[in-house]
Amino acid sequence: SFLQTSLSIWGWGSLGLVLFLVTFGPFAIFYFAFYILCFLGGGLVVTFLFGKSNSEKYLEQCEHSFLPCTSVGIPKCIEEMKHEARPIKIDRRLTGANIIDEPLQQVIQFSLRDYVQYWYYTLSDDESFLLEIRQALQYALVQFSARSKETDWQPYFTTRLVDDFGTHLRVFRKAQQRIAEKGDQMKDQAEELVDTFFEVEVEMEKEVCRDLVCTSPKDEEGFLRDLCEVLLYILLPPGDFQNKIMRYFVREILSRGILLPLINQLSDPDYINQYVIWMIRDSNCNYEAFMNIIKLSDNIGELEAVKDKASEELQYLRSLDTAGDDINTIKNQINSLLYVIKVCDSRIQRLQSGKEIDTVKLAANFGKLCTVPLDHILVDNVALQFFMDYMQQTGGQAHLFFWMTVEGYRVTAQQQLEVLQSQQKDGKHQTNQTKGLLRAAAFGVYEQYLSEKASPRVNIDDNLVAKLAETLNHEDPTPEIFDDIQRKVYELMLRDERFYPSFKQNVLYVRMLAELDMLKDPSFRGSDDGEG
């Protein structure tokens, strides 16, 4: 059908062409093309002449109109753009304290210089973008300052932060004990220590484990990004937070440019050692604390380093040529160094011989152990550490922490009242401020350990707690305000079978005696009620 259609089209076309040539002659095609060209050329000429005349009439009307010249606006805009930008005034107040605001302004300036200006000036010289970022940062700092003033930092720094740090140390020590019990079965001790640490953390903190955040760089960065998102939501204005580009930009600067390098620096052992040396450079080390550290150290390398340092100092003192009163001073220093070397040797021998683990068997050979009264345990740093570990295991740490916190509150309150009395004698009046601080400290102790919201809560007579609450609400706090409840807590720890009586039957008690050098020579004996 397609072939037939094509043949019919060609046939009719050929017939039409033959008839056209027969009718008009062989030159008809050229004549026809010439007529078409003349028609098109004439149309173009007429259109050109008509358009030209109309355009001239329109331009003549525009020249006689009252509109201003259009060429004035563009040069004026260019001239305005070339003018120098006026200096921008910025409110430099952030916290209200000039001693804090100036360093913060320097931090903002350095942050913009290091993270924004070095690439922004390659794109534009306009300062408005930098001004917007600076104002957003200042707004965030003002919000942070306002929220910090509304927060009660005293319970956090005096209780929660200290408890978290102590828990971290206890987890680390238990992990070290488990590693020591496994002996030489491990191939990579450092990796095994990390795994054991987080296993102990799960056991102590129940449902909390931070292994991924602490060991995986990717998870750590993700956690810091989430943390920065929360902070930006709290601190930034709603309009700036809804701007995703700006939010992601600031988030990356905070997480990867500030927080992550800061965490890496604070966790660097070399930085920690240098910082500790810097802190204690101008202070004298307490002799008792230094000897307790040596007696509690489980690292043979550290003990040998202390021993070598003491030996060097000993040789230097013996080489001095002195006379008169200096001889007695040098002799005392030499005797002290000899005692330090002796303690280090004794500790190293104990660790190398394995007596640190077999103290229970050693104690069995001596029959009845000597009794250390509870009041002596609470004031001795070495003994208190073992008792604290035991109370942590039995769930009674709240009672011990409450007793220790009240002791600290009593000392602080007495010092504040003594300062207040001296100021009153000098004619200075700050009574309300001092009493306000003491009241806040007393309420902090009450809320942390005795209130219904306390977790864990000290289990004590409700009548005493109600009486204390009434006293706090209606009377000025005194150093002795917690004495009745502290006495009851002490009696509870002393009499309750879960605490001090069971502690004397625990392996930690035997290790405590070994650390106090009371295991081999039970010359210190006392009664269970604290009468030594």
C-alpha to C-alpha distance for 446 and 453, rounded to whole angstroms? 10
pLDDT at res. 350: 77
**What are the b/e assignments for 217-239, b being 16+ CB within 10 Å?**
eeebbebbbeebbebbeebbeee
Q: How far is CA 68 from CA 55, 85, 135, in A?
A: 20, 29, 42
C-alpha to C-alpha distance for 430 and 304, rounded to whole angstroms? 53
Tokens of 112: 């913009």
pLDDT at res. 157: 83
pLDDT at res. 529: 44
Nearest to 362 by CA among 503, 511, 505: 511
CATH number for the 364-421+433-516 domain, one of 1.10.10.10, 3.40.50.300, 1.10.167.10, 3.30.70.420? 1.10.167.10
pLDDT at res. 225: 92
C-alpha to C-alpha distance for 94 and 148, rounded to whole angstroms? 13
Q: How far is CA 481 from CA 211, 301, 437, 475, 477, in A?
A: 43, 48, 15, 10, 6
Residues 6 or more apart from 126 whose CB is under 8 A from it?
A: none
Residue in the structure block whose two tokens are 């033959």: 18
Q: What is the pTM of this model?
A: 0.47
Tokens of 127: 């300062």
Distance of CA 503 to the CA centre of its chain: 37
Q: pLDDT truncated to tens, each residue of the chain (532 aa)?
A: 566 677 777 777 787 777 777 776 767 677 777 888 888 888 888 888 888 888 888 777 776 665 555 556 677 777 766 665 555 566 677 777 778 888 888 888 888 888 788 888 888 888 888 888 888 888 888 888 888 888 888 778 877 888 888 888 888 888 888 887 776 555 567 788 888 888 888 887 777 778 888 888 899 999 999 999 999 898 888 888 888 888 888 888 889 888 999 999 988 989 988 888 888 777 666 777 778 788 778 788 888 999 999 999 888 888 876 655 567 788 888 888 888 898 888 888 877 775 444 455 555 555 567 888 898 888 888 888 888 888 888 888 888 888 888 888 888 888 878 877 777 776 666 566 677 778 888 888 888 888 888 777 888 888 888 888 888 888 877 888 888 888 999 999 998 888 898 888 888 888 888 777 776 544 444 444 444 3
Tokens of 341: 């070397």
Domain boundaries, the chain: 12-63, 287-355, 364-421+433-516
**DSSP SS3 for 57:** helix
C-alpha to C-alpha distance for 502 and 255, rounded to whole angstroms? 49
Q: How far is CA 331 from CA 221, 238, 338, 342, 389, in A?
A: 57, 72, 10, 16, 40
pLDDT at res. 254: 86
C-alpha to C-alpha distance for 532 and 515, rounded to whole angstroms? 19
Q: Please state whether the peptide bond connecting residue 238 to the residue before it is cis, i.e. omega within 30 degrees of 0.
A: no
Is-contact 21 32, C-beta < 8 A?
no
Length of the chain: 532
